[in-house]
Amino acid sequence: MKKLIAGIVTLMIVIIAASSAFAAAADIQFSGYTWFRYTSLAQRFSDKNYDTSKMSVEKLYLTWTMKYSDSLNGNITLDLPMKSGNTANSDWTTIVKFAYVDVRQAVPNFGVVRVGVQPMNFCMIDKWSYPLIEKSVEDVNGLISSADLGVSVLGPLPGFLRLPDGWADYSFLATNGNGFAKPTGTDSNIATCARFNAKVAPGLSLSISQYTSQMSSGDAYARAGINAQKSFSGVAANYFVGPFWLMGEWITGKLPNATTSNSTNISASSLLFQYTLNDKWNFIARTDLYNPNTDLPGGSALNSTNAPQTRIMYGINYQWFQDLLLQVNYEELACKDGPDKTTDPNARATSDCVLVQLKWSY
């Protein structure tokens, strides 16, 4: 009974505190989006095939932005993912994707100090607005989480010589390094992430990023009692000219090995081309290359155990209504066949996927 009373009191305190936060805000804006998706997937391994056909609500985000003054803003974004067996009684659950406050003008030149669960400003992971249904290359391969719990400083750089104000921007984050789904710190080593982005010519921007973390001996990746490094360097380029958008990402770094205490050298790249026909139609193509171990001898994508994983995507977007976007994507993936699927060391697994998605914004 005491635990029940304590739980009820705690819940009431949280509700009152949240209500007070909303009530104190001078301006509150609500927004969100829901993705209705149909997936047709055919996976081919050396010993068997798997076919999947399903409907899903892939994303359901609810966002509240609060403005208290010119110096203080807040953001709360809830992610309600749908996955079979999320809980014992439901396929739905709730995750806090973002929960942060922005203290503006806290640093010179209108910089912002941000505290809480916030976007990770690395390469394109926080800028990726899903013109294709797939995640960015660093996200889909699990290199970096798209959000984490920590403190950051970010803002534009002032102009000098002939450069105008806002010619470049910067961000520096110190986070727990676990990602937004399980943000609780399990390591005394803080993860850091820095990015510098500059507009180098009309329509062209370049950015450089650096992420560094140390996995302690208590982490699942480091089993021999020493720290294993997780670090990535990234370069991204975006070029907009007329109806065309060209984007490229290149990432190299170290990823903790799943079975030993050392780190594996990896590389990833992504190239995208988008053509916007008008305010209703655009067409996109993208190719990704991911090598989970660049230290091993390479080979062609067809016959080498260490051949890089290749992913090719094509997409058509149709703006059906102002708040309804219809997306049709085709994706082809080729990667190493798993050891549980075959004894052939050169076997490759492939998959073909057709995705049809309706994005409802509100």
Residue 215 lies in a domain: yes
Give the whole-angstrom CA distance, residue 140 versus residue 147. Answer: 14
Kindly tell me if the per-residue pLDDT of 242 is higher than 70: yes
Higher-scoring residue by pLDDT: 219, 150: 150
- CB hemisphere CA count around 237 (13 angstroms): 11
Residue 16 lies in a domain: no
For residue 148, give both structure tokens: 């984490």
Residue 329 lies in a domain: yes
Residue 229 lies in a domain: yes
pLDDT digits (tens, 9 = 90+) for 333-348: 887 776 566 566 667 7
Confidence of residue 2 (pLDDT cuts 50, 70, 90): very low
Closest CA to 255 of 138, 122, 152, 125: 138
Kindly tell me if the per-residue pLDDT of 189 is higher than 80: no
Residue 4 lies in a domain: no
Residue 221 lies in a domain: yes
Kindly tell me if the per-residue pLDDT of 12 is higher than 50: no
Q: Are 348 and 301 in contact (CB under 8 A)?
A: yes
Q: Could you tell me the CATH number of the domain that includes residue 182?
A: 2.40.160.10
pLDDT at 23: 60
Residue 3 lies in a domain: no
Closest CA to 150 of 175, 167, 126: 175
Domains in the chain, number: 1
Residue 273 lies in a domain: yes
Give the whole-angstrom CA distance, residue 43 versus residue 49. Answer: 6
pLDDT digits (tens, 9 = 90+) for 127-146: 999 999 999 999 999 999 99
Give the range of the structural domain holding residue 289, as residue numbers without chain letter: 30-361
Model-level pTM greater than 0.85? no
Higher-scoring residue by pLDDT: 36, 260: 36
pLDDT at 349: 82
Give the whole-angstrom CA distance, residue 270 versus residue 285. Answer: 11
